[in-house]
Amino acid sequence: MQPRSDPDSGPESHIGGVPSGSPRGGLRSLCSPAALTGGLTELAWVGAHVLLYPFGTRSEQLRPDVRFRPGAQSPAVRALFADDPLASRTPVLLVHGLVDNSSAFAVMRRSLRRRGFGSVCSWNYSPLLGDVAEAAHDLADRVEQICQDTGHERIHVVGHSLGGLISRYFVQRLGGDRRVDSLVTLGTPHQGSRWANVVPAPLIRQLRPGSPLYQELAEPAPGCTTRITAVYSDIDQMVLPTSSGRCDHPDLGARNVLVRGVGHMSLPIHRGVLDEVAATLAGLRRTVSTVASLTAAVA
């Protein structure tokens, strides 16, 4: 399922402050055509995801596929890597969100391979996870294994929801920036979510705004070399307020990308988000102005 991008849902990238008028608030956001379309897409994808869930219970092993290389692909794919032909060979690791598994990336995995990325795999952490730092240490082991298996010193990571927060903790607090070139987070509560206040579970308590976890992540992180891009939506049902999906740490220099009318679970399948992730991993988003409007491709 790859829904066409709504004209109002094209990503807007920015560093620091929120672009003017974004995200829309309250009923205006929920009643917009983009939000209504996004809500229907969200419902359809959740239903499809339930069916796919059993097929994602095991982490996908990294199997480089020589068929998915720019030299054997369309001119559009070759153009994606024109500035850095070797970018397609960098391994890409996908990290899912809470109470989920690698099936969340069924569409993105196929999309990245079609766009020329030859080494894409996923990682499942324990559904009984009780601590973000614990998962980050496990992620570190997985990344080291990928580097040993492929001979690459650095990889790319894409994390959805909690997976993005685990990945950020790894690069920011555990020295993971030595191994991770680019980190893209999708719908990640970088500043917590108010929903966490209603669930007493230990892991969920860590996601409360101002928790010890977020106080630790707010500490200085000088010299972190990972390029971080945070994609967030103005109607994200799980990240409240939706602006918490931005990564605003002053030492990280994260690039924040707002998409409109895309539900939390739909972020990994939305056409505009897929295009943005591919362009970011290909190195086409290294430089960005304070506010830059991007048009989501319909390919």
- Mind listing the pLDDT tens digit of every residue in the chain (299 residues)? 444 444 345 566 555 555 544 555 444 555 666 666 666 676 766 666 676 666 666 666 666 655 555 455 678 887 888 888 888 899 999 999 998 899 999 999 999 999 999 999 999 998 889 999 999 999 999 999 999 999 999 999 999 999 999 999 999 999 999 999 999 999 999 999 999 999 889 999 999 999 999 999 999 999 999 999 999 999 999 999 999 999 999 999 999 999 999 999 999 999 999 999 999 999 998 644 333 333 333 33
pLDDT of 99 reads 85
Q: What's this model's pTM, rounded to 2 decimal places?
A: 0.82
Cα(9)–Cα(258) distance, rounded to whole angstroms?
9
Show the domains of the chain with their CATH numbers: 7-16+27-285 (3.40.50.1820)
pLDDT of 77 reads 82
pLDDT of 297 reads 33
Dihedral of the alpha carbons of 136, 228, 74, 45, in degrees to the nearest 10: 60
pLDDT of 1 reads 45
Cα(169)–Cα(242) distance, rounded to whole angstroms?
20
> What is the 3 state secondary structure string of 187-217?
CCCCCCCHHHHHCCCHHHHCCCCCCHHHHHH
pLDDT of 76 reads 80
pLDDT of 86 reads 83
Amino acid letter for position 280: T
pLDDT of 201 reads 92
- Give long-range contacts, CB 8 A cutoff, 24+ apart: 143-152: 143/93, 143/170, 143/176, 143/179, 143/180, 144/179, 146/62, 146/91, 146/93, 146/121, 147/179, 149/62, 150/62, 150/64, 150/91, 150/119, 152/89, 152/90, 152/91
DSSP 232-295: EETT-SSSSSGGGGS---TTTTPEEEEESS--TTTGGG-HHHHHHHHHHHTTTTS---SEEE-P
